[in-house]
């Protein structure tokens, strides 16, 4: 089985963290292929950056989709997830969706905990897009800056644990979702310090991608996620242009 993990951020450090976390839970026979966005920003935190990252992700998926069994959009806000599902035949899993739906199987309500307050509006919209408002107890983010996106989880570990505890005691969260690709792998370090289940979204997405690939469900030919009618394009990458034009 081949699973493609695409980091829509341009940070290779983040891709490495995602790869390490996903590899901890993947099956022995699974080949994990990791790709990093070729343009955009080091880490996505706004709607506009998500739009750019989603396009970068789609271009990579267009190049690789014939070689894989499932794909992971490895940024918490799931940039481009819906578009990827309607354009490609393989199952596509979002980091946020996998993390939140996994949390729903572990408790009644979950809280999202992350490292930057700029992420909160986008994450709230992501919760709404997935129709999970009733299951989300809160979205809590740290205030203030950080020194390095590659080391933000190490720098903010104690503060994130305290934020998770506040979500449990003040928001009645049954499960904590550590949100943001830069936090991949942190759950393994802090699970013993947080008194409810803690979900690592990269681990959850890897497990869900393997599950969907094994189910071998058909691509839709009806419904809102059926492949769109072919159209010509201008100025796009050749692989993505071919896919939109009805080829490949």
CB burial of residue 16 (10 Å; 0-12, 13-18, 19+): middle
Show the tokens assigned to 112. Answer: 């999202």
Report the pLDDT value the prediction gives residue 75, as an integer from 0 to 100.
95
Condensed to tens digits (0 to 9), the pLDDT of residues 38-96 reads 999 998 989 999 999 999 999 999 999 999 999 999 999 999 999 999 999 999 999 99
The mean pLDDT value for 113-131 works out to 94
- What pLDDT sits at residue 207? 97
d(CA 172, CA 124): 18
Interval 135-146 mean pLDDT: 92
pLDDT value, residue 19: 97
Q: How confident is the model at residue 247 (pLDDT cuts 50, 70, 90)?
A: confident
Averaged over 171-180, what is the pLDDT? 97
pLDDT on residue 149: 85
Q: How far apart are the first and last CA of the chain?
A: 20
Segment 220-225 mean pLDDT: 91
Three-state SS for the chain is CEEEEEECCCCHHHHHHHHHHHHHHCCCCCEEEEEECCCCCCCCCCHHHHHHHHHHHHHHHHHHHHHCCEEEECCCCCCCHHHHHHHCCCCEEEHHHHHHHHHHCCCCCEEEEECCHHHHHHHHHHHHHCCCHHHEEEEEECCCCCCCHHHHHHHCHHHHHHHHHHHHHHHCCCEEEECCHHHCCHHHHHHHHCCCCEEEHHHHHHHHHHHHHHHCCCCCCCCCCCCCCCCCCCCCCHHHHHHHCCCC
pLDDT at 3 over 90: yes
The reported pLDDT for the residue numbered 182 is 93
Q: Please report which confidence band the pLDDT of residue 127 belongs to, taking 50, 70 and 90 as the band edges.
A: very high
pLDDT surpassing 80 at residue 162: yes
* Arithmetic mean of pLDDT, 25-29: 95
What's the whole-number average pLDDT of the chain?
A: 95
Q: Which residue has the tokens 């307050």?
A: 117
Question: Could you tell me the pLDDT band of residue 37, with boundaries at 50, 70 and 90?
Answer: very high
pTM exceeds 0.95, yes or no: no
pLDDT in tens, 189-218: 999 999 999 999 999 999 999 999 999 988
Percent residues over pLDDT 70 in the chain = 100
Question: Looking at residue 145, what is its pLDDT?
Answer: 78
Do 42 and 64 touch, CB atoms closer than 8 A? Answer: no
* pLDDT above 80 (res 111): yes
Percentage of the chain exceeding pLDDT 90: 90
């Amino acid at each position: 089985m081949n699973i493609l993990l695409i980091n829509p951020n341009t940070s290779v450090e983040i891709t490495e963290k995602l790869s390490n976390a996903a590899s901890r839970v993947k099956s022995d026979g699974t080949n994990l292929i990791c790709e990093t966005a070729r343009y955009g920003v080091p880490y996505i935190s706004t709607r506009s950056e998500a739009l750019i990252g989603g396009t970068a992700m789609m271009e990579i998926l267009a190049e690789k989709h014939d070689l894989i069994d499932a794909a992971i959009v490895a940024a918490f806000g799931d940039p481009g997830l819906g578009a990827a599902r309607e354009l490609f035949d393989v199952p596509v899993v979002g980091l946020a969706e996998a993390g939140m739906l996994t949390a729903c199987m572990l408790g009644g309500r979950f809280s999202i905990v992350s490292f930057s307050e700029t992420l909160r509006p986008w994450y709230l919209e992501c919760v709404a897009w997935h129709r999970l408002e009733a299951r989300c107890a809160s979205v809590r983010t740290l205030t203030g800056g950080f020194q390095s996106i590659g080391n933000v989880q190490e720098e903010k570990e104690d503060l994130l644990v305290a934020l998770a505890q506040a979500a449990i005691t003040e928001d009645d969260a049954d499960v904590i979702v550590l949100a943001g690709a830069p936090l991949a792998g942190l759950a393994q370090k802090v699970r013993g310090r947080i008194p409810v289940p803690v979900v690592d979204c990269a681990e959850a997405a890897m497990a869900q991608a393997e599950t969907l690939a094994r189910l071998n469900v058909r691509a839709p030919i009806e419904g809102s996620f059926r492949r769109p009618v072919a159209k010509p394009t201008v100025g796009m990458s050749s692989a993505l242009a071919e896919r939109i034009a009805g080829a490949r």
